Amino acid sequence: MKNELLLFIAAAFISASAFAQRMPKLEIGYGEVYTVAAENTLYVDTLVLRDKASIKFAPAKQGVLEAKVAYVGKDCTVTAKGADGAAGSRKSAGESGEDGGSLSVVMHFAQLGSLTLDTRGGKGGRGADGKDGRRGKRDSHEKVVSRGANG
């Protein structure tokens, strides 16, 4: 029984890691966005992020990024940000924004400019319009003061 359990755990680990994206080198150019494949896991020996480059993970499942050596330029981003909610109509409320994702990031920096890890949830959609308000009433302590033409 114990051996069967160990065999099952080993098989599950091997099959899960077999579907992960593995590459010796990934270079993302200036301002480019690299979207991680459906398994949401990326293992890289050498990662090069040019200025303003981004790596995007799907927020619906755990994202994993591991780089043995990373060269990161300025204003780079690794994101699992949730999508914004759809706007409402005049009579219906907007939709909620999507939850942000979870990221596990292990990188050994050879060069680090600036890097943002963004796991925020999406913005909620615009709500429905409110109804017209009622006509206001004067406060019982309020006085009406009228002044003459000369103030």
Measured CA angle at 69 (ends 114, 17), to 5 deg: 110
DSSP H/E element including 14: helix 2-18
- Give CA–CA dist 149/151, Å, rounded: 6
End-to-end CA, the chain: 98
| Contact between 91 and 128 (Cβ < 8 Å) | yes
**Per-residue pLDDT tens digits for 115-142:** 999 999 888 788 777 777 788 777 777 6
Mean pLDDT for 1-22 is: 53
